[in-house]
Structures are given as C-alpha cells and as structure tokens.
Amino acid sequence: MFTKGAVEDLIVQHLSREAGRAAPVVKKVPENKKKVFISDWELRRIYKPGAKTVQVPANSIISPLSLDWLDYNGIKVLRGLI
C-alpha cells in the first residue's frame, strides 16, 4: 500500500524526468466566432417579438430554461448559420 509520502515521491520523480525533455506542443483549437452556449437572457435578445422562430448557430447549446420558455410560447428553433 502506498503512503501519501510515497505517492508524492513518485510524482516528483516523474516530473523531474519530464523537466529534461522539450516542452509539449500546445494544440491550437480553432476559434468559434459564434456563441456556443445561449443563456435565457441572450435568447430573449435574439428573439424578435411576434416571430414564431428563432435562429441560432448550428453548434450552439441552448439552456434548459430557454428551451422551456421557447416551448411555453410555441417558438421553434432553427439551427444554422446566422
């Protein structure tokens, strides 16, 4: 069974071996120019009064509160490019 000190020693040994190597390459993640998560407040700003649809980016996640609000008011969500 490992003790807390033994685990700490293993971690320090592992990290000291890594220090001699080159730094890992950081992967670049492409930027999303559109919002991925849409909160209730943001959705109400997007919504035009009297409209029966709301258009959001295809990769967006709509908050549960927003989905409830849309369902209650009978508004359909159109996913696609804005």
pLDDT, tens digit (0-9, with 9 covering 90-100), for 48-67: 999 999 998 888 899 999 99
Residue 76 has pLDDT above 80, yes or no: yes
Please state whether the predicted TM-score (pTM) of the whole model is above 0.85. no
Helix (H, G, I), strand (E, B) or coil at 21: coil
Q: Could you identify the residue written with the tokens 């258009």?
A: 55
Of residues 36, 41, 42, 29, the one with CA closest to residue 57: 36
